[in-house]
Each structure stands twice: as structure tokens, then as C-alpha cells.
Amino acid sequence: MKPTLLLIAFALFLTACNKQAAPPAPVARAVLTQLVGEQAGRGSQEYSGEVRARDEAPLAFRIGGKLVERKVDAGERVRAGQELARLDAADANWQAGAAEAQFSQAQAEIKRYRELHAKGFVSQSALDAKEAAYKAAEAQAGLTRNQSNYTRITADHDGVIAATLAEAGQVVAAGQPVLRLARDGAREVAIAIPETQFGQRKLGEPVRVTLLADGAAFEGRLRELSQAADPASRSYAARVELAGDTSRLALGMTARVTFAADQGAGLLVPLTAIFQQGNQSAVWVVGADNALSLRTVQIEAWRDQGAVLKDGVAAGERIVSAGVHKLAAGEKVRIINNNGSAP
């Protein structure tokens, strides 16, 4: 019996050795996905902007000279009539003094000539010449007097110094901006519209503005849109008017301006989500069982932010947003959101 048992055990051993190990279960591919409509809304467009005053004006001297004192810094609040900066007034004062002296002499001469003319000692033409000299001296004295006052910059209204553009000791020309004064009152958001989107914007268009600092939201409208592009950025400067109380907004705050999509606009999806199948565009839709299906879509418009779909998918459906050329229909995947987290 023993040889028989040994043979049976040996046969069982050989049978076990001939069996192949079971293959490991396939690992589902991880893919980046997003819900249709969760980003950029229904074709909406967003721009980053800066809170600015409705009325801003650069302040400059009306004559040239050396800036000897700048009495305010950026961010300071000023009152109407407050002196903000001054030039070296020595030359202007000398010119004013010389003009005043000439004017005093002209006054004395015209008085004497009028008396002599009344007595018949001088002719009318001689009196007329002195009258002309008197008026010229009077005008010159007034001009130099004004120029002496032009050595100071004063605030013409209440506001905040938005920027300082010159320093003490600097020689500035007439009309060269030294300060920029933002007037108290309404606040706006300054944005730049890219050249590719310029034709889509219209004056009066409603917008929603969200502050980056605290998330506060405001309704607004597009008030101003430049018709000339910036030569460096090739973008168009625009201003958004805010509704409601904006007095608490600090100048320079960062804001996000969102233009709502037009009625009937399609859904915006990333360009990387589009799979080109012959002459048709398609996207990979992730089903409830994480299986993929290829669905054809109709592109309404191409934009920098993505493709606007006219139909083919509905808001709330999950699509693959990257790596679409490596997938196959029916394949089950492991879902990863665009931010790297699992849903």
C-alpha cells in the first residue's frame, strides 16, 4: 500500500505544479473629470480687476521747477484746499517782484501823463503809448503773480492719494504728473478685455463682482469700454460701475468680474475634454457605474476658456476633462476631480 500512496501523492504534486496562478484583477484607470457646468457656469466669462475711484485725476504743477517738498504719501486722505506739494519758488518770486516794480513805475507814469495831457502839455498819442505800456505792465504783474502761486499744488476736492509719481529733489516739467488723487464717492472696477472677446462685450451689460478679500458680492454693469487697444497687452480697458453702497471699498482691492452668458448659451467645457472622431466632436461621459461612453456633441463656439456645447450633454453630467485619447468605450475608470481629489 505504501508504494501506491506515494504514487498518488506524487501525482497530486505534479497536478498542483501544472496549475497557473490566477491573473490579478485589472486596476481601474484614474482619470481627471468634472461636472458639466460646475466651472465658468453656462459660458460665463470672468476677469480679474481692481477697485478704482470713479473720478481720478493726475495733479501737476503748471510751471516747471525743482520739487522741494511733497507733503503727502500714497493712501493718505486729504481735504479740499490742502497743500500737497510745492516747488522752489525763488525764481518765481524774483520774477514777480520785478514785474511788480515795473507795474508800479507804469502806474506813476500814467498818472503823470494824464495830468500833463489834461493841461495840454503832452499829445494824445504820447498818452496812448503810456496807456498801452501801463496795461502791459499790469498784465505782466498779474501773470507773474499767478506763476508764483503755481509753485504749490492743492487738493481741489476731498479724496485719497492714489499714487505718488515724483519725489522731493526731482526737477519736474510743467504738466508732469506728481500725484494722482482719487475723489471720494463712487467706486468702480477696472478690467482689461482681451482682443478675442472685445466683440462680445456691450455697454450696459450686467455683471456680478466678487471681492477677493471677503467674498462680498455686488451687482454692476459695464459703464465704459475703450475703443483703442493697449499697445503692449493688446487688451481693451473697461470700467464696471457698482450698484449699492461702495464707500467702504478700499482702492486697489482685487475683484472678480463675471459676465453672465447670453440666454440660450451652451455649456462650457475644457478644450482638453473634446475628442475628435472623424468629422464629429465628442466627449467621454462617465456613467453611474464609472463606465465610459463616447457621446457626440455639437460645438456652438470656441473660446479661450473652452468649447461651448450647443447640445449632447446636460448640466450635472460627469465628463472626462483630460487624457481623452487614451480611453475606450465601456472602460471602467477611477474618478478624480480637477483639483486632484476624489468626488
What sign for the dihedral angle of Cα 168, 70, 87, 175? Answer: positive
pLDDT at residue 68 greater than cutoff 80: yes
What is the pLDDT at residue 11? 59
Residue 144 belongs to domain with CATH number: 1.10.287.470
Based on the fold, state whether residues 98 and 241 are members of the same structural domain: no
Q: Give the closest residue to 294 by CA, choosing from 342, 266, 267, 331.
A: 331
Tell me the pLDDT of the chain averaged across its residues: 83
Report the C-alpha gap between 73 and 164 in whole angstroms.
7
Give the whole-angstrom CA distance, residue 292 versus residue 317.
Answer: 12
Q: Would strands 29-35 and 318-320 be described as parallel, antiparallel, or unpaired?
A: antiparallel
Full-model pTM: 0.53
Instruction: Please list the alpha-helical segments (H only) found in the chain.
Output: 2-18, 90-119, 124-149
Domain-located, residue 80: no
**Quick one: 320 and 274 in the same domain?**
yes
The 10s digit of each residue's pLDDT in 86-133 is 988 887 778 878 888 888 888 888 888 888 888 888 888 888 888 888
Q: Is residue 84 part of a domain?
A: no
Q: Are residues 238 and 284 in the same domain?
A: no
Q: How many domains does the chain have?
A: 3
Q: Computed from CA positions of residues 98, 103, 104, 108, in that sequence, does the dihedral angle turn out positive or negative?
A: positive
Q: Which domain holds residue 137?
A: 89-150
CA distance 54 to 187: 5
Task: Give the CA radius of gyration of the chain.
Answer: 40
175 in a structural domain: no
As a whole-number percent, the residues of the chain with pLDDT over 90 amount to 25
Q: What is the DSSP letter of 71?
A: -
Element (H, E) at 4: helix 2-18
Q: Which of 307, 311, 304, 312 is nearest to 273 (CA)?
A: 307
Residues 120 and 104 in one domain: yes
Residue 174 lies in a domain: no
Domain boundary among 210, 238, 259: 259
Of residues 294 and 13, the one with the higher pLDDT is 294
Q: Which residue has the higher pLDDT, 5 or 324?
A: 324
330: left (phi over 0), alpha (psi -120 to 50) or beta: left
The answer to whether 172 and 194 have CB atoms below 8 angstroms apart is no
- Is the separation of the CB atoms in 45 and 308 below 8 Å? no
Element (H, E) at 264: none
Between 197 and 260, the more confident residue is 197
More confident of the two residues 257 and 338: 257
What CATH code is carried by the domain that includes residue 278?
Answer: 2.40.420.20
Provide the grid cell at 117. 495831457
> What type of residue sits at position 9?
A
